[in-house]
Structure 1
Amino acid sequence: MSNDAAPGAGVQSVDRALTILEHLARAGEVGISDLARDLGVHKSTAFRLVATLEQHGLVEQTEDRGKYRLGGGLLRLAGATTARLDVVQEARPIVRRLAQATGETINIAVLADGSALYVDQASGSSSIQSHNWVGQRIPLHATSNGKVLLSGLDPRAALAAAGKLTGYTDGTVTSRDRLAAELVEVRAVGYSVAVDELEVGLTAIAVPLHNMHGDVIASMSVSGPTFRLDAAARDAALGLLRAAADEVSARLGYHSAAGATSA
C-alpha cells in the first residue's frame, strides 16, 4: 500500500468506527452482520472494527453472543468531561469570593495531556489587568497547580506525566530527583508553592480539589506578584485557600477524615 493511500484509509476506519458507535447508541444491541450491512462492508471488516472498539472498552459483547452494545469506556470518557464541568460549576462562586478576600488571582486547573489546563479564573482587587489563563496549558513541573495535580498520581506516573523538565527561570525544577522530593512534600503538607519558577516575579500557592472518592481531580491556586505574596502573605492566603478548597471538594461529594472527626 502506498503512503498516499494510508491516511485516507485511516480516516475511513475512524469514520466507520464512529458510525458503529452511533448505530449502537440508537439500536442498543446489534450483531456483526447487521453492522456490516449498514456500513456496506464485509463482515470481517466490521468484526475488526468492533474488536478494536472492544479493546478500548467502547463496546462490549452481550450475553447473546454475536451482538454488541456500547461499553463502559464511553461512560469513563463522558464522566471525565462531566467532572471537569462540575468542578467549574461548583467552584465558581467560591472562586469569586476567594478572589475578593485575597485580592489576588484565583485559578482552577485540571490535568490534561501532560499539562495543567486552566478552566476558570477570577481576579481580585489587587490584580489590575490580570493575565487571562483560562484555556491555556502550562507545564506541570514549573507551577504550583501542576505539582498539586502531579501529587495526585502514583509517584512513577507523576514523573512520567511531568515530561521534559524544561527550565523557564533559575528557580525552575529541572531535576527529576528534586521534583520527586517536592511531590512527596506536597502529598504530606497538602499544598504547593512556586516562587519565580514559571516567570520571574510570579508566585502561586495551590491546593488540591477532591471528588467523592478522594481523588485529586483539580487544583485551586492563589497567584500574584512575588513582592506582594511574601511569606506572611502566603501564609494568610493559604488558610483562605484551604477553606475554599474544602468547600468546593465538599460540594463535589468529598468528606475528609478531618471533617468527619470534627463533625
Structure 2
Amino acid sequence: MTGSTIQSVDRALTILTLLAEHGPLGVTELSGLLDVHKSTAFRLVTTLELHELVEQTTDRGKYRLGVGVLQLAGATTARLDIVQRSRPVTRRLADELGETVNITVLSGHDALYLDQTAAASTLQPYNWVGQRVPLHATSNGKVHLAHVSPARFAELTAQPLRRFTDHTKTDVTALLAEVAATRRNGYAVAVDELEVGLTAVAAPITGPDGEVAGSVSASGPTFRIPAERVSEVAAKVVEAAREISRQLGWHGLAAHSSPF
C-alpha cells in the first residue's frame, strides 16, 4: 500500500513536470509518456484537477498546468520576498536593541519562523528558523491571531490551549481581549509565556495587498527587556515592521479594519 501510494505521488508529480516541459497534453499522451494504462493516467490527472494543479484547455481532452501551481509558487515567492527585503531592517533593529529579531508567517495553526537575526554583541541564540511556535503563547502568534477573521480565530483556538508556564494565557476570552488590544496598539507582547525568562515584542508586516503578510519581533531575556523598556522596544519594532511593509510595496496606514 505504501509503495503504491508513493508511486502514485511520483506519477502525479511527473505529470506536472511533463506539462511544464511539453505544454498541454491529453490522457493518451500522458499514459504513453508515463508508461501506464489510460485509466491510471486519467485518475491521476483528475485528482490533480480537483486541486487546481492542472486544468483542461479549450481543446477538451488536453490538460495544462493550473492556477494551483501559480498559487503555490506565489506563496513561496512571497515568503522569500519577506526574508530578502526584511534583512537590512532586521539587522539594524537587532543591533539597535542588542536583541534577537525574528520574522514569522502564519502557517496552519502555528507561527512559522522564516528568518532570525542576532545582535553582534549577543551570544549566538537558539536558531528558530524553520521552527513552529504556538500562537497563543508568543508575541508573533498574537499578532497573527489579531489579524484573522472571527471564524478563523475560533478555528485556531478551538482546541484547549496548552499551558507552557504559569503566565501562559489559556482562556480564549482573555486571549481575544488581548489580541483586540494588539490591533489597537499595533504590537503584541509576551512576557514569560512560552518560557520563563523570555520577553518578546512583535508587530505586523503588511503586504502590498494591505493584508498582514507576516510579523517581526524582538526578543531577549526578561531581565534585559523589563516592563519599563517594553514601550521603547515596541516603538522600534513597529517602525521596523512599517519599513519592511514599505519594502514589500505597502504604503497605507493600516492593514484593514478590525474583524473583532
116-125 or 49-58, which moves further after superposition? 116-125
Q: Which residue pairs with 1:21 in the alignment?
A: 16
- Percentage of identical aligned residues: 55
Between 1:172-181 and 1:237-246, the stretch displaced more is: 172-181
Q: Is residue 21–residue 70 contact of structure 1 (8 Å, CA) maintained in 2?
A: yes
Contact map agreement 1:118 1:135 (CA 8 A) in 2: yes
Deviation at 1:16, TM superposition (A): 1.1
Report the alpha carbon displacement of residue 164 of structure 1 after superposing the two structures with TM. Answer: 4.5
Match of 2:176 among 168, 177, 180: 180
The CA deviation string for residues 6-34 of structure 1, in whole angstroms up to 9 with x for no partner, is 22221111111111101100111111111
- For 1:160, the aligned partner's letter is E
Residue 74 (1) aligns with residue 69 (2): yes
User: Residues 143 and 202 of structure 2 are in contact (CA less than 8 Å); yes or no, is this contact kept in structure 1?
Assistant: yes
Aligned to 1:3: none
2:237 alignment partner in structure 1: 241
Residues 1:205 and 2:201 are matched in the alignment: yes
1:169 counterpart = 2:165? yes
Q: 1:219 aligns with which of 212, 215, 219?
A: 215
Counterpart contact for 1:151–1:187, Cα < 8 Å: yes
Query: What code does the residue aligned with 2:8 have?
Result: S
SS across alignment from 2:90: helix
Structure 2 counterpart of 1:14, one-letter code? V
1:118 aligned onto 2:113 = yes
Three-state SS of the structure 2 residue aligned to 1:178 is helix
Q: Let me know the Cα RMSD of the aligned residues.
A: 1.8
- CA deviations on 1:127-170 (whole Å, 9 max, x unpaired) are 33433222222111110011112223222213423555110001
User: Aligned AA for 2:227?
Assistant: A
Output aligned runs, 1:135-150, within 5 Å.
Answer: 135-150=130-145
Gaps of 5+ in 1: 1-5
For the residue of structure 2 that corresponds to 1:246, the secondary structure is: helix
Q: Would you say the 8 A contact 1:127–1:224 is kept in 2?
A: no
Aligned residue type for 1:88: V
Q: Are 2:89 and 1:87 equivalent residues in the alignment?
A: no
Contact 2:167 2:192 (C-alpha < 8 Å) held by counterparts = yes
